[in-house]
Each structure stands twice: as structure tokens, then as C-alpha cells.
Structure 1
Amino acid sequence: MSITPRPRPGNRPGPKPRLTREEIVEAAVEVGVDRLSVAAVADRLGVAPGTLYRYVESLDEIAASAVELVFARTPLPSADRGWRPFLEDEAALAFDLLTRYSGLIQDLGADLATVSGDRLRQIVTILCEAGFSPATAVRVADAVLDTVADGATQTRFVRGPDRGPGDLSEAALAYLATLDEPVRGEVLAIMRDPRGHVLDKVALVLDGVEHRRAAGRDGYAGIS
């Protein structure tokens, strides 16, 4: 994550307080991104709200950087129980993080590419230590993370930005109305428990991985 200060037009002249952009982002994490405001961050740092604009352009920038920092600091699950429990635990953790901060990520444009890349490298290393080839490790990790990311995006569609876990958005209800039974009932069950649905999809992916490994196949299907 880049934290190089960016100039802001219209900065007032005069001596600047001893403050860095890193400290602002750290304070934002401490405040909590779900309760974030310029005033709250400034209060935690003991400065006037306007002071922050010497180092950042907007609350959006603070929020995006705070989310990136949260993801970067979240440790991977333990791999002591084997590669499959490790990936299942990582899928659950990633889903919870993505859904918790989905509004900030999608609405404020947090750039998680670097964070995701760092996390992917760590996952691939663990899978290689478990006996996967690098090519297969990358594909397995990518398949799991893509499944989770897509599920988190769909969860926000289902719930809407301002609804609780048990509520459905107007868009989701409208979609349900286009379906006939028994499909409607099954889709409704998925919408009521999106986390369980996503983790079940991850389990299906991992079932396929285990099947290939049991058959002595690695890499693409049909190539041993």
C-alpha cells in the first residue's frame, strides 16, 4: 500500500504540525472504519479536522487506506491441520472481511490489489509446502479467493448497503419474483445464508482438488 503524501491544492501556509499520513491512517484504523469521520480521526490525533487535509485529500482516501491496512494486518489462519482446513478457514475469514467492509471497498474504491497479491503469495507458499506444484497452488488459491470475492459482492446485492443480515434488498426481492418454484425457494435459502452458500461452493472446489490429487493429477485437467 502506497502511503506517500499527495499534495492538496489550497493548503494554508504556515508551520505544519508533526503529523504524517501513516499516523492518520493508523488513527483511522483505531477509530474503526465503520465509524469513520474526519472529526473522529482528528480528535484521536489531537488536532483540528482541517489539519488532516494537509496530508490527505478526503475522507474517502483515509477510509480506503484504512481498509487496505486492516486487510494487510489480518494474519492468515494456521496451516497446522492441513491444506484443506487452512483454505476453508481462509475462505471464511476473507468472506467476513470483505462483507464487513464491502461498502467502503466498493463505494470508496479501496485498492486491494497489492494487499490481495501479498496474501496470495503467502497462500501459495503454504500450498507449495503442502506438496502442490507452484502452478497448481496458484490456480487453487485463485479459485478459492475468486469464489469468496464473488460471493461477497453478491451478498451486498442481496442485502443492500443499509440492511441487516436477515433482510433482503429491493433488487433481490425483485429478482426472486422472476423465478418459479422450486428454484425460487432454493435461491431464497441461499440469500438467507450467503456465507454458508459461499463456503459450500468453496468446499465443492476443494472436493475437486482432492479428487485430482487422489488420482495423481496436477495442473490442468487431463495432464498428469
Structure 2
Amino acid sequence: MTQRSSSQRRTASLTPGRIIEAALRLSDHEGGLDRLTVRRIASELGVGTMTLYSYFRSRDEILDGMADYVLGRMQLPAEPPAGPAEAMRDVGLAFLDMMDEHPTVIRLFGSRVTDSRPALRGAMEAPLQRLVDAGIPGPLAVRCYGFLITYSIGFATYQAPRPWGRAADAGGGDRAEQRRQRSHVYSALPRDEFPRLVELAGELPGLPTNEQYLAGLEAFITSVLSRPDLSPPG
């Protein structure tokens, strides 16, 4: 098979979805959004740069497509929640899982607004419906949604450059050893300048862990459950 016919086959099998998937793969695992260029995506797919411009007019359109792709596929548990607390956990953990699977979306949230129907359905309509179905009144559901998404974005942003906080199977590596080394960083500080950091050196590496995220989530849930305007489902 000639080089030209091979290139023609790759071009013939190209779709907008394949382009978005390649862009996400590169951005999530090979340098983030800053290094993502149309040329790099084209190279990953084995096609010419101009070929991509027949599907997307600009890099910005590709970024919009990436946001739509991830948000539109956010997954909530199939089983309906037993009540408001479980519904809030479902939504919060779904946001965190989505950002863990696609770290790129953290930056996309901070730089773009999408009004595509798949994105609105997956990342707004479905979570809000989950909260309302669990007995949370609409206006309160909106406030809960706002907290859950911004809390998840903030936590995921903090966790992303701190690999010792992630689960052992999320990217590989010996997390226990990484946390031990991080603890040593704090314990090795001059005690007269940093008495609390030295004293709490064993606890501080836990700040970017999912356990810390869950502690904050449960505190928020407790505050919502104490509200007089919250009614049980049914």
C-alpha cells in the first residue's frame, strides 16, 4: 500500500468525534491545554493540519467540542438516591470522577462557557433533576448544585499537581512513598519558624486526598439537611 493511499484511508475514517477524543487524550496525558495545538492533534491522527480545519474552524472550536464531549458524558449512579444526602453525594462524586478521568475539563471550566444541549443535559439538567427528585426544593437545588460544582473544581485544581493525593491506581506510582516524602518535607523545616507544620507533618499530605474532599462534602450535606425548607422525597 502506498503512503498516499494510507493517508487517504486515515482521512476517510476521520470524524469530529475522533478528533475530539485525540485532543482529550493529548491534553489529559501529554502536557495539558497549553501544549495542545491543531498541528499536534493532526500529527496524532496521522493527517495534515488543514484536514482538521475542514471539521473545526479553529483551535477554540476544538476546545468547545472537548468541553461538550466531557460534560455531556458525565455519569450519575443508575440507582435513584435514597434521600437528599445521597443525591448530593452522587452529584459531588460524579463531578470529581469526571475531573479525575479528564483533568483537562478543570481548565476548560475556567476558560469557557458551553450552551450545547448534550453538555447542558449531562452536567446541569441531570444533576439538578437528581437533587430535586430527592426532595430538595428547586431554588435550594440550584444553590446545592453551585456549591458542588465549584467545590469540586477547586478541589480538583488543588489535587491535580499533587500526585500523592490521588488514589494509587490513578496514574500509577507508590502513593504511600510519595506521602512519606511529602511528610518529610514538612518535618525537615526549622521548628522555630514552622512549629505547626513540623508538628502536623504526618497529617498534611492528606490535604489533597479524596478523603479530604469527602470530609468537606459531608460538612456541606450536614448543613443542608439542617435547613427547615428541606422536605423528604415522596
TM-score category by the smaller chain? 0.5 to 0.7
Q: Superposition pairs for residues 105-116 of structure 1, below 5 Å?
A: 105-106=106-107, 111=112, 113-114=114-115
Q: CA deviation at 1:207?
A: 1.7
Q: Say which SS state the counterpart of residue 74 (structure 1) adopts.
A: coil
Distance (whole Å) between structure 2 residues aligned to residue 29 and residue 131 of structure 1: 37
- 1:28-43 aligned at under 5 Å gives the runs 28-31=19-22, 33-35=24-26, 37-41=41-45, 43=46
**Aligned counterpart for 2:204 among listed residues 162, 169, 187:** 187
Deviation at 1:153, TM superposition (A): 0.7
Within 1, Cα distance between the matches of 2:55 and 2:110? 19
Measure, in 1, the Cα distance between the counterparts of 2:94 and 2:218: 15
The count of aligned residue pairs is 187
Match of 1:4 in 2: none
Cα 1:108–1:61, aligned 2, differ >3 Å: closer, same or farther? farther
- Mapped partners of 1:75, 1:113: distance in 2: 18
CA distance in 2, matches of 1:58, 1:173: 47
| Unmatched runs of 5 consecutive residues or more in structure 1 | 1-16, 220-224
AA matched with 2:51: T
- 1:218 maps to a residue whose letter is D
Cα offset, 1:185, TM superposition: 2.9
Name the residue aligned to 1:141.
145
Instruction: Tell me if the contact between 1:99 and 1:155 (Cα under 8 Å) persists in the aligned partners.
Output: no
With over 3 angstroms needed to count, the CA separation of the structure-2 counterparts of 1:74 and 1:121, relative to structure 1, is closer
CA distance in 1, matches of 2:109, 2:151: 22
Question: Cα–Cα, structure 1 residues 108 and 145, in superposed 2: closer, same or farther, change >3 Å?
Answer: closer
Q: Which runs of 5+ in 2 are unaligned?
A: 1-10, 28-40, 165-170
In the TM superposition, what is the alpha-carbon distance from 1:155 to its structure 2 partner?
A: 0.6
Q: What secondary structure is seen at the aligned counterpart in 2 of 1:185? A: coil
Q: 1:88 maps to which residue? A: 89
Which of 15, 18, 23 matches 1:27?
18
Contact 2:106 2:153 (C-alpha < 8 Å) held by counterparts = no
The answer (yes or no) to whether the contact 2:68–2:114 under 8 Å persists in 1 is no
C-alpha displacement at 1:172, in angstroms?
Answer: 11
Q: Which whole-Å deviations, capped at 9, do the CAs of 1:180-208 have from their partners, x for residues lacking one?
A: 244443222223xx222112211111122
Identity of aligned residues (%): 18
Name the CA shift for 1:174/1:58 in 2 (closer, same or farther; >3 Å). farther
Structure 2 counterparts to residues 69-218 of structure 1, below 5 A = 69-78=69-78, 80-82=80-82, 83-103=84-104, 105-106=106-107, 111=112, 113-114=114-115, 118=121, 119-159=123-163, 166=175, 167=178, 180-191=197-208, 194-212=209-227, 217-218=228-229
Q: CA RMSD in A?
A: 4.0
Q: What's the TM-score, normalizing by structure 1? A: 0.63
Paired residue type of 1:208:
S
TM-score scaled by structure 2? 0.60
Whether contact under 8 Å (1:124, 1:141) holds in the other structure is yes
